[in-house]
Amino acid sequence: MPLAIFVGSNHQLQNIIFGQALLHNEQSDSFDWLFKAFQNYMRSKKGPRCILTDQDSSMAAAIKRVFIKTIHRLCRWHMLKKYRLELKKLYDAHEGLKEKLRTVINHPLTTTEFEAAWDTLVDEYGIRENVAINGLWKQREQWIPANFKQYCCGRMTSMQRSESVNMMVKASSFATHLTSINKFARKLLKVIQHTNHTSAGETHRSQSKVIRDTLHLFDSQLSSVHKGSIQQVQGDVYEQHCIPHRC
């Protein structure tokens, strides 16, 4: 049974698991049920502001039907992997293309800057009609970072957070094909609790009383300033990058 996990970013840009479910299959109707159940669990009629997935067509269709106002973003890593063989041929044929292409993809701050840089690049190397270049260009609105600057995505451009949680679950080696569902659920809960405890521990340490090395007054003053600056930075990150139930 496929295990679906909703992974996001908390106020410290750490992984946070919003929910998980076992599916009967990976067909469109199963994803419909999954997303509706997630909406109900999160008590939100609109769904998340942004959801990042691979290029699964069944999942994409379900997102359009259920998460009507959600921005659907495609994983950058999967996009480049899809054309890895064609891109490798281009990299071998054109020196410096790989670095310049990555720069064009990652650095522009607006869609206008990206499109201008893309046109300059493809004209410079004469690769405008290449299959891989055409494929990446046609789907640019769903994966190029410049198109999502105005949305809260917790600095996510790929499914790396989801994959890291998947690896943590697999590395735990707590389940085989003989594991019953009730035992699987209990063991998965332990993984989630471990993640939550790690995050809570860092929050506690950042807000706990500072232990001073001396009793000098300047030491007390500096410790207060230092603690205040840390809390201010954390607050700024929270406001800019993540509101947990909405990301």
Enumerate residues 6+ apart whose C-beta is below 8 A from 224.
Answer: 210
Domain assignment of residue 115, given as a range = 84-142
Note whether 125 and 185 are same-domain residues: no
Note whether 227 and 247 are same-domain residues: yes
- Each residue's pLDDT tens digit in the chain (247 positions)? 888 889 888 777 778 888 888 898 999 999 999 999 998 888 877 788 889 999 899 999 999 999 988 999 999 999 999 999 999 999 999 999 999 999 999 999 899 999 999 999 999 999 999 999 999 999 999 999 999 888 877 778 888 788 777 777 776 666 677 888 888 888 888 878 877 777 666 665 666 666 666 777 777 777 777 666 555 444 444 333 333 333 3
What integer pLDDT is reported at residue 204 of this predicted model? 57
What integer pLDDT is reported at residue 37 of this predicted model? 92
Q: What's the CA gap between 55 and 76, in Å, rounded?
A: 10
Kindly report each contact of residues 34-40 with a partner whose C-beta sits within 8 Å and lies 24 or more positions away, as own/partner. 34/4, 34/62, 35/62, 35/63, 35/66, 35/67, 36/66, 38/6, 39/66, 39/67
The answer to the question of residue 152 being in a domain is no
Instruction: State the burial class of residue 193 (Cβ atoms within 10 Å of its Cβ: 0-12, 13-18, 19+).
Output: exposed
Note whether 57 and 175 are same-domain residues: yes
Q: CA neighbours within 13 Å on the CB side: how many for 247?
A: 23
Note whether 26 and 128 are same-domain residues: no
CATH number at residue 229: 3.30.420
The answer to the question of residue 227 being in a domain is yes
Note whether 108 and 129 are same-domain residues: yes
Structure tokens at 176: 């085989």
Note whether 112 and 185 are same-domain residues: no
The answer to the question of residue 147 being in a domain is no
Question: Do residues 124 and 96 touch, judged by C-beta distance below 8 A?
Answer: no
The answer to the question of residue 214 being in a domain is yes
Structure tokens at 182: 């009730």
Note whether 2 and 100 are same-domain residues: no
- The count of domains in the chain is 2
